[in-house]
Amino acid sequence: MSFLLGVLIFVVALLFSIMLHEAGHFVTAKKFGMKVTQFFVGFGQTLWSRMRGETEYGVKALPLGGYVKITGMTALEEVDPADEPRSFRRQPGWQRAIVLLAGSFMHFLLAFVLLFALAVGIGIQDSTAIGGVDRCVPASLKAMDTGSCAGSTTTSPARRAGLRAGDKVIAIDGTPVHNWTQLGDQIRRHPAGRPMRVTVLRDGRVLTLTATPSTVPGRGSFLGIEESTAFQTVGPLQGVSFAGSTFGQILTGSAAALAHLPSALPDLFAKNRSHTPAGNLSSVVGVADDTGQAVAQGGVGWETKVWEVLLLIVSLNIFVGAFNLLPLLPLDGGHLAVVIFERIRAWLARMFGRPDPGLVDMQKLVPLSVGVFAVLVGLAVLLIAADIVNPVHPFQ
């Protein structure tokens, strides 16, 4: 039941995000006097619709997206001469750019607000505090994922070094660490079997302990510490700072996932997918499954569950917002690139005393747009298939 509740939360959040995206286009287009004829959530058969003024609002059968129909989006569209002055294509370039950017802006705004609310309302984890110390060195990746000491007789390096739950790690080999990601990177980069200086803050005192990382097959250097799950609320200014820094980290991670996309595709159906770059790729089916797992997991408090669910929603919105700005048709970023090209071309024409060339001939770009759309659909189908056949279970 808890798993289904998590999936339902994700579906509602996804639909809400879609509505916000389209509302961004809708509100800015209306603000600039453009004619908006439709505002729909979903695709396919219309389930419900209602006319309000000149706009039809409605819901369609497949909740896989949404759209706002603005009159005259491209030169290909036939427009009633009476509506031409209010068409998208006849507005100044800066207004068209704002309308195109507004969808992604709403994703980013939602993500920032949720991160701020988490920090101020529930609190943030002490980013480098140790929540627990493992008893042993796992014999395999599977044992590490489950926390099992079966088949292992080796005490974890952290336990041998005297590290304790509650210690705050402030440096590794003299290099300061400010979050768990930096801490993990420093540990993994350190050669197994070579002593490592771990500087911690314990009860107000700075201690430097020596640990010798072991190795787990397929993973690399292993210390044996777990992230703290304790939360501490912060004030508004710290909340803004936390939201900004976390937003940047997620955005950077999203860019890295996209950069590794070609090399990650072959590992989508590999047995060790979760330990390859393909483990960072997911479809809406995979994110829905992750949300269900986050809600259904046992042994954690409600704060942790809320944090993990909302962080999934935040990550999804940041990724979608950034992906949508890629300069590829039919994405908003592709249309934005066309507007920028038109303005640059018009500026060059003025410099040489020539007339404005006007709108780009979109007919020439139709094959490219169709090709990109086909690739995106194919990629979506591939990711969905991988998430069904070979899912990643981050909360198990």
* 62 in any annotated domain: no
pLDDT at 126: 65
Cα separation, 183 vs 186, in Å, equals 5
Cross-strand partners of 207 = 200
Which CATH number is 187's domain given?
A: 2.30.42.10
* 251 in any annotated domain: no
Residue-wise pLDDT tens digits, 68-115: 999 999 888 899 999 999 999 999 999 999 999 999 999 999 999 999
* 278 in any annotated domain: no
- Which residue type is seen at 254? S
Residue-wise pLDDT tens digits, 342-389: 999 999 999 999 998 988 888 888 899 999 989 999 999 999 998 898
Sign of the dihedral through C-alpha 154, 156, 161, 166: negative
User: What is the band of 218 on the pLDDT scale with cuts at 50, 70, 90?
Assistant: low
Residue 22: both structure tokens together? 């389209």
Tell me the average pLDDT across 314-321: 95
User: What is the band of 236 on the pLDDT scale with cuts at 50, 70, 90?
Assistant: very high
Cα separation, 348 vs 167, in Å, equals 62
| pTM listed for this prediction | 0.80
* 209 in any annotated domain: yes
pLDDT at 219: 67
* 136 in any annotated domain: yes
* 22 catalytic per annotation: yes
Residue-wise pLDDT tens digits, 106-143: 999 999 999 999 999 998 876 788 888 888 888 877 77
Cα separation, 158 vs 238, in Å, equals 31
Residue-wise pLDDT tens digits, 149-199: 887 778 999 999 999 988 899 999 988 887 777 788 788 888 888 999 999
Cα separation, 202 vs 165, in Å, equals 10
Contact by Cβ (8 Å): 88, 29: yes
pLDDT at 19: 92
pLDDT at 159: 92
Helix, strand or coil for residue 360? coil
Residues in contact with 127: Cβ distance below 8 Å, sequence separation at least 6, in sequence order: 178, 179, 180
Residue whose C-alpha is closest to residue 158's, from 181, 180, 178, 187: 187
**DSSP states along 272-332:** TGGGSGGGG---HHHHHHHHHHHHH--SS-HHHHHHHHHHHHHHHHHHHHHHTTSS-TTSH
| Residue carrying the six token digits 């009476």 | 82
pLDDT at 188: 81
List 22, 84, 226, 342, catalytic entry = 22
Q: Is the pLDDT of residue 396 over 60?
A: no
Residue-wise pLDDT tens digits, 5-61: 888 999 999 989 999 999 999 999 999 999 999 999 888 899 999 999 999 999 998
DSSP conformation class of 147:
T
* 164 in any annotated domain: yes
Contact by Cβ (8 Å): 295, 309: yes
Residue whose C-alpha is closest to residue 222's, from 138, 340, 307: 138
* 282 in any annotated domain: no
Contact by Cβ (8 Å): 210, 198: yes
Q: Distance from CA of residue 293 to its chain's centroid?
A: 18
DSSP conformation class of 191:
P
Residue-wise pLDDT tens digits, 240-283: 999 999 999 899 988 888 888 888 888 888 887 877 788 878 88
Residue 153: domain span: 130-229
Across all residues in the chain, what is the average pLDDT?
Answer: 89
Beta-sheet pairing, 124-125 with 231-232? antiparallel
Cα separation, 246 vs 375, in Å, equals 31
Burial of 238 (0-12, 13-18, 19+ CB in 10 A): middle
* 219 in any annotated domain: yes
Cα separation, 128 vs 198, in Å, equals 12
Contact by Cβ (8 Å): 220, 144: no
pLDDT at 299: 64
Per the structure, how many domains does the chain have? 1
